[in-house]
């Protein structure tokens, strides 16, 4: 069957891209994994050195890719030779001797490098790679490579979904909403709200308020949660996938304005994201009449300016509008009155990365991974006392212990796990005995431990749980924006009482104060930052309360 | 308590502060202001509030910080009250209103870096850095996979994060950057 409409337009673009790549005359590729993580160990210097050394060779292309998640092996260099074989190098330092890498471009290079190192293979073996599929192997700033690998086919599929056989030019957005609802895609920012429900709500709200001139789709790539670095990896490794997901979401929600909101610190992410937006725009993917359909929108990249609270969705809207970084009261929800008072959908970057795969692979394939109540994979930012820290992609439902021991390789130096901080400062800590909980939405433990944005920091048995909890509480107090009283006044008092407890000077009344404060701050604060600020304390008191050396604690 | 006439007297004092350059200081200020307005008109032709943060980012990029006089000009251009420009500028942790020192050393004290020894790095940085440098901490640099990390910012240059740090190497980095 010949494809028609948007799919036919896409197929022509992809074929043209493949031909241009084939005609470029670079049969060998040297891929330097240059992400924000490996940049800190000199990947940019390494890239420039390799580029300079190989510049006389017209048959070799040196490419800066993203980091594939194995930060512990940074910097990785992968050499794809003209004969189709591959050579792998890891932990390459900025000043290292590069002769082995350069020699490996031709036959006769080191044979022991024909496979990734055992450590790398052990890191990836327990994972289920979907979102990270081409991160590290695709040139993030090449639209052609993305198109040639099947990119933007999800958008073409979305634009023609629900198309009637008889002559109708394009499909219906409602069909896309229904498909993603059926797939059961939940938001990956931390609240796990069904993504397509937001699209539906914004679409309906827009038709009710005739004064709204626009609908907006905001891509939340603020990623300000300490210990989480997943969106940066996606933006640096495969920015077009985020753009494709955002375009599909914008189409489904009826949005004509897309804003991609990138963290203030993430310069490399913003650079690659902006380059990808420029290329996609030049290729006509933002319309008008994108891929021959009636869909079109504008896409802008905006930068944050620092602060955990900026990732809170209404604060993020205030930031874009040029206001102070403070949350807004809800309702009205952003889908009714968001950016400039107009219907606005805010989706996390990782959430949107799932969307193209649902369109091309179908609902059943997506739903076959993960849990019934939460399908698909989850990007987990693993750090702390593990042999292999980095970004892992695992099916939802994988246990915290599996991530730590199988992906991370357990605690180094033959020490046992002490506890793990899961889900960042809005969550809490889990002692070693409690790590068999599955990663899922909602509470991992009723004392206030949640998955959040998927950060896990591991500690061995020498670390003090109360000191780590104190650090989480201090973070919450420092990041409180000051708008609402319970959070502004309560979080520093939590810190003060906890500091006494952690240093051994605490009394029973400090413990009671901590319980009261975390309850009040949690119940009366305006936004999620305050509402969840008591969680670290609650989990500490629950698991370690009797060990704090205080009577009545 | 402010008395009537106070503001007039204050203005006179300010304008007569340096009799030799009287008038020329004002002219210089006006020149600086109109220069920035021209640039803002070009870069941000839409005089809307949503351009506030991009304009502040632009200023910080140009000057390394946000000079007070420039905040006022941004307010004029975007039609946002100066008090609210100031309010926004001071609510974001990445924007600074003071001139940056020659060298800023940022030690990440997030959980992964703390576990990997950020306390010793902080102590080492404070010991090594001279008075022209400022040592500060960051709650997380989001580079936890290569912890511990330290940021180095020279005057007018972008912050460079360095991973897998140790006190000895940090001392060498600071010594080199301070030259």
**pLDDT (tens digit per residue) in B158-174:** 899 999 999 999 999 99
Q: How confident is the model over A16-37, as a mean pLDDT? A: 92
Tell me whether residues A232 and B142 touch, CB distance under 8 A: yes
Tell me the average pLDDT of chain A: 93
> pLDDT value at position A112?
81
Q: Are A404 and A441 in contact (CB under 8 A)?
A: no
Chain A residue numbers touching B140 (CB-CB < 8 A): 226-227
Q: How confident is the model over A528-538, as a mean pLDDT? A: 95
Q: Tell me how far apart the alpha carbons of residues B42 and B54 are, in angstroms, rounded to a whole number.
A: 13
Q: Which residue does chain A place closest to B150, by CA atoms?
A: A40
Q: Tell me how far apart the alpha carbons of residues A351 and A522 are, in angstroms, rounded to a whole number.
A: 27
Tell me whether residues B162 and A265 touch, CB distance under 8 A: no
> pLDDT value at position B126?
94
CA distances from A399 to A191, A405, A438, A466 (A): 19, 10, 4, 24
Q: Which residue does chain B place closest to A222, by CA atoms?
A: B142
Q: Are A374 and A441 in contact (CB under 8 A)?
A: yes
Q: Is the predicted pLDDT of residue A64 greater than 70, yes or no?
A: yes
- Give pLDDT tens digits for A69-95: 999 999 999 999 988 899 999 999 999
Tell me whether residues B91 and A39 touch, CB distance under 8 A: no
Chain A residue numbers touching B56 (CB-CB < 8 A): 305
Query: Which residues of chain B have a Cβ shorter than 8 Å from any chain A Cβ?
Result: 48-54, 56-57, 78, 80, 84, 87-88, 91-95, 109-112, 114-115, 139-147, 149, 158, 161-164
> pLDDT value at position B74?
97
Q: Which of B94, B95, B112 sits opposite A384 (nearest CB)?
A: B112
ipTM given for this complex: 0.94
**Could you tell me how far CA A379 lies from the centroid of its own chain?**
7
Q: Tell me how far apart the alpha carbons of residues B8 and B15 are, in angstroms, rounded to a whole number.
A: 11
Chain B residue numbers touching A423 (CB-CB < 8 A): none
Q: Are A308 and A475 in contact (CB under 8 A)?
A: yes
> pLDDT value at position A213?
87
Q: Which of B50, B112, B149 sits opposite A320 (nearest CB)?
A: B50
Q: Which of A223, A229, A457 sits opposite B143 (nearest CB)?
A: A229
Cα-Cα-Cα-Cα dihedral sign, residues A158, A159, A160, A162: positive
User: A142 in the Ramachandran plot: left (φ > 0), alpha (ψ -120 to 50) or beta?
Assistant: beta
Q: Tell me how far apart the alpha carbons of residues A493 and A497 are, in angstroms, rounded to a whole number.
A: 6
> pLDDT value at position B11?
66
Higher pLDDT, B6 or A125: A125
Q: Which of B94, B111, B164 sits opposite A457 (nearest CB)?
A: B111
Chain A residue numbers touching B80 (CB-CB < 8 A): 322
Tell me whether residues B53 and A478 touch, CB distance under 8 A: no
Give the N- to C-terminal CA distance of chain A in Å, as an integer.
71
Q: How confident is the model over A495-511, as a mean pLDDT? A: 94
Tell me the average pLDDT of chain B: 89
Q: How confident is the model over A287-309, as a mean pLDDT? A: 92
Q: How confident is the model over A398-404, as a mean pLDDT? A: 98
Q: How confident is the model over A39-68, as a mean pLDDT? A: 96
Tell me whether residues B115 and A459 touch, CB distance under 8 A: yes
Tell me whether residues A322 and B91 touch, CB distance under 8 A: no
Q: Tell me how far apart the alpha carbons of residues A125 and A408 are, in angstroms, rounded to a whole number.
A: 11
Q: Which of B57, B111, B164 sits opposite A303 (nearest CB)?
A: B57
Confidence of residue A241 (pLDDT cuts 50, 70, 90): very high
Q: Is the predicted pLDDT of residue B1 greater than 70, yes or no?
A: no
Q: How confident is the model over A101-120, as a mean pLDDT? A: 87
Tell me whether residues B158 and A267 touch, CB distance under 8 A: yes
Under DSSP, the state recorded for A407 is I
Q: Which of A38, A226, A457 sits opposite B139 (nearest CB)?
A: A226
> pLDDT value at position B4?
61
> pLDDT value at position B17?
59
Q: Which residue does chain B place closest to A317, by CA atoms?
A: B50
Q: Tell me how far apart the alpha carbons of residues B122 and B120 are, in angstroms, rounded to a whole number.
A: 5
Token look-up 């021209």 returns B38
Under DSSP, the state recorded for A376 is S
Q: How close, in Å, is residue B30 to chain A by CA atoms? A: 26
Confidence of residue A287 (pLDDT cuts 50, 70, 90): confident
Q: How close, in Å, is residue A142 to chain B by CA atoms? A: 25
Confidence of residue B25 (pLDDT cuts 50, 70, 90): confident
Alpha-helical regions (H) of B20-166: 24-43, 52-63, 68-78, 82-91, 111-115, 118-128
Q: Which residues pair with A375 in a beta bridge?
A: A370
Count CB neighbours of A486 within 10 A.
Answer: 19
Q: Which residue does chain A place closest to B50, by CA atoms?
A: A321
Q: How many residues does chain B have?
A: 179
Confidence of residue B5 (pLDDT cuts 50, 70, 90): low
Q: Which residue does chain A place closest to B164, by CA atoms?
A: A41
Chain B residue numbers touching A421 (CB-CB < 8 A): 111
User: Which of B112, B138, B148, B149 to mutate: most A Cβ within 10 Å?
Assistant: B112
What global pTM score does this model have? 0.94
> pLDDT value at position B166?
96
A–B CB contacts, 8 A cutoff, strictly below: 137
Q: Is the predicted pLDDT of residue B21 greater than 70, yes or no?
A: no
Q: Across chain A, which distance is largest between two alpha carbons, in Å?
A: 78
Q: Tell me how far apart the alpha carbons of residues A220 and A314 are, in angstroms, rounded to a whole number.
A: 11
Q: Tell me how far apart the alpha carbons of residues A481 and A478 are, in angstroms, rounded to a whole number.
A: 8
User: Which helix (DSSP H) or strand (DSSP E) does residue B175 occupy?
Assistant: helix B167-178
User: Helix crossing, A230-237 with A239-253: angle to 10°?
Assistant: 100
User: Which of A35, A40, A216 to mutate: most B Cβ within 10 Å?
Assistant: A40
* Neighbouring residues of A99: CB distance < 8 A, sequence distance ≥ 6: none
Tell me whether residues A227 and B93 touch, CB distance under 8 A: no
User: What percent of chain A has pLDDT above 70?
Assistant: 96
Q: Tell me how far apart the alpha carbons of residues B54 and B150 are, in angstroms, rounded to a whole number.
A: 27
* Neighbouring residues of A46: CB distance < 8 A, sequence distance ≥ 6: A32, A34, A75, A77, A92, A93, A94, A96, A98
Q: Which residue does chain B place closest to A420, by CA atoms?
A: B111
CA distances from A511 to A174, A421, B151 (A): 53, 21, 37
Report residue B177 as tokens. 């950057």
Q: How confident is the model over A378-389, as a mean pLDDT? A: 97
Q: Are A219 and A347 in contact (CB under 8 A)?
A: yes
Tell me whether residues A38 and B146 touch, CB distance under 8 A: yes
User: Which of B40, B74, B91, B172 to mutate: most A Cβ within 10 Å?
Assistant: B91
Tell me whether residues A266 and B88 touch, CB distance under 8 A: no
> pLDDT value at position A553?
40
Q: Are A265 and B142 in contact (CB under 8 A)?
A: yes
Q: How confident is the model over A294-310, as a mean pLDDT? A: 92
> pLDDT value at position A1?
41
Q: How confident is the model over B100-112, as a mean pLDDT? A: 94
Q: Which of B93, B115, B146 sits opposite A40 (nearest CB)?
A: B146
- Give pLDDT tens digits for A418-458: 999 999 999 999 999 999 999 999 899 999 999 999 999 99
Q: Is the predicted pLDDT of residue B22 greater than 90, yes or no?
A: no
Q: Which of B91, B112, B142 sits opposite A325 (nearest CB)?
A: B91
> pLDDT value at position A163?
72
Q: Is A42 exposed, middle or buried (0-12, 13-18, 19+ CB in 10 A)?
A: buried
| DSSP letter string, A257-281 | EEEEEE-TT-HHHHHHHHHHHHHHH
Return the C-alpha torsion angle A464, A465, A466, A471, nearest 10. 100
Q: How close, in Å, is residue B164 to chain A by CA atoms? A: 7
User: A541 in the Ramachandran plot: left (φ > 0), alpha (ψ -120 to 50) or beta?
Assistant: alpha
Tell me whether residues B139 and A478 touch, CB distance under 8 A: yes
Q: Is the predicted pLDDT of residue A416 greater than 90, yes or no?
A: yes
> pLDDT value at position B130?
87
Phi and psi at residue A194, to the nearest 5°: -55, 120
* Neighbouring residues of A472: CB distance < 8 A, sequence distance ≥ 6: A421, A424, A425, A428, A536, B111
Q: Which of B57, B91, B146 sits opposite A37 (nearest CB)?
A: B146
Q: How confident is the model over A31-49, as a mean pLDDT? A: 97
């Amino acid at each position: 069957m010949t494809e028609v409409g948007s799919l036919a337009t896409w197929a022509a673009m992809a074929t043209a891209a493949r031909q241009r790549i084939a005609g470029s005359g670079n049969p060998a590729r040297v891929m330097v994994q240059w992400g924000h993580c490996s940049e800190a160990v000199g990947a940019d210097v390494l890239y420039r050195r390799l580029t300079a050394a190989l510049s006389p060779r017209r048959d070799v292309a040196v490419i800066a890719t993203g980091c594939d998640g194995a930060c512990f092996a940074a910097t990785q260099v992968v050499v794809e030779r003209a004969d189709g074989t591959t050579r792998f190098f890891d932990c390459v330092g900025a000043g290292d001797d590069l002769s082995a890498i350069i020699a490996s471009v031709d036959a006769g290079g080191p044979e022991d490098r024909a496979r990734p190192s055992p450590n790398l293979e052990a890191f990836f073996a327990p994972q289920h790679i979907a979102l990270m599929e081409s991160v590290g192997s695709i040139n993030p700033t090449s639209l052609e490579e993305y198109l040639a690998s099947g990119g933007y086919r999800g958008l073409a599929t979305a634009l023609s979904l629900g198309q009637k056989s008889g002559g109708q030019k394009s499909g219906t957005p409602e069909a896309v909403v229904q498909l993603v609802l059926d797939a059961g895609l939940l938001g990956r920012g931390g609240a796990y709200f069904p993504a397509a429900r937001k699209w539906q709500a914004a679409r309906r709200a827009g038709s009710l308020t005739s004064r709204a001139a626009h609908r907006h789709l905001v891509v939340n790539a603020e990623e300000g949660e300490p210990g989480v670095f997943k969106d940066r990896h996606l933006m640096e490794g495969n920015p077009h996938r985020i753009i494709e997901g955002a375009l599909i979401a914008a189409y489904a929600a009826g949005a004509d304005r897309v804003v991609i909101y990138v963290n203030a610190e993430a310069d490399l992410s913003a650079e690659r994201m902006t380059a990808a937006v420029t290329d996609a725009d030049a290729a006509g993917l933002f319309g008008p009449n994108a891929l021959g359909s009636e869909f079109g929108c504008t896409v802008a990249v905006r930068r944050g300016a620092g602060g955990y609270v900026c990732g809170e969705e209404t604060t993020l809207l205030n930031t874009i509008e040029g206001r102070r970084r403070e949350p807004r009261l809800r309702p009205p929800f952003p889908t009714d009155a968001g950016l400039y008072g107009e219907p606005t959908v805010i989706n996390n970057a990782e959430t949107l990365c799932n969307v193209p795969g649902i369109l091309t692979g179908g609902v059943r394939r997506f739903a076959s991974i993960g849990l019934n109540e939460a399908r698909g994979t989850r990007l987990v930012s693993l750090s702390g006392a593990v042999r292999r820290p980095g970004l892992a992609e695992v099916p939802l439902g994988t246990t915290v212990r599996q991530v730590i021991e199988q992906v991370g390789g357990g605690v180094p130096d033959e020490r046992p796990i002490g506890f793990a901080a899961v889900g960042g400062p809005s969550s809490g800590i889990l002692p070693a005995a409690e790590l068999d909980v599955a990663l899922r939405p909602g509470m991992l433990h009723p004392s206030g431990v949640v998955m959040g944005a998927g950060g896990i920091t591991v500690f061995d048995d020498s670390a003090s749980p109360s000191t780590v909890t104190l650090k989480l509480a201090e973070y919450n107090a420092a990041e409180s924006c000051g708008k609402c009283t319970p959070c502004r006044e309560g979080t520093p008092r939590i810190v003060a009482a906890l500091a006494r407890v952690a240093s051994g000077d605490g009394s029973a009344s400090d413990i009671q104060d901590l319980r009261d404060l975390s309850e009040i701050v949690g119940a009366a604060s305006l936004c999620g930052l305050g509402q969840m600020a008591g969680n670290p304390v609650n989990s500490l008191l629950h698991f370690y309360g009797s060990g704090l050396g205080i009577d009545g604690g | 308590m402010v008395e009537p006439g106070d503001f007039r007297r204050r203005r006179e004092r300010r304008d007569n502060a340096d009799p030799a350059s009287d008038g020329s200081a004002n002219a210089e200020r006006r020149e600086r202001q109109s220069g920035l307005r021209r640039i803002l008109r070009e870069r941000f032709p839409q005089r809307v509030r949503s351009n506030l943060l991009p304009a502040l980012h632009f200023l910080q990029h140009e000057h390394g910080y946000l000079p007070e006089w420039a905040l006022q000009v941004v307010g004029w251009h975007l039609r946002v009250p100066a008090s609210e420009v100031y309010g926004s500028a001071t609510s974001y942790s990445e924007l600074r209103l003071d001139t940056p020192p020659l060298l800023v050393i940022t030690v990440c004290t997030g959980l992964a870096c703390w576990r990997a020894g950020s306390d010793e790095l902080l102590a080492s940085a404070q010991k090594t850095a001279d008075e022209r440098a400022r040592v500060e901490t960051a709650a997380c640099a989001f580079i936890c996979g290569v912890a511990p990390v330290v940021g180095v910012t020279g005057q007018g240059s972008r912050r460079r994060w360095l991973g897998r740090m140790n006190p000895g190497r940090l001392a060498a980095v600071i010594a080199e950057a301070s030259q």
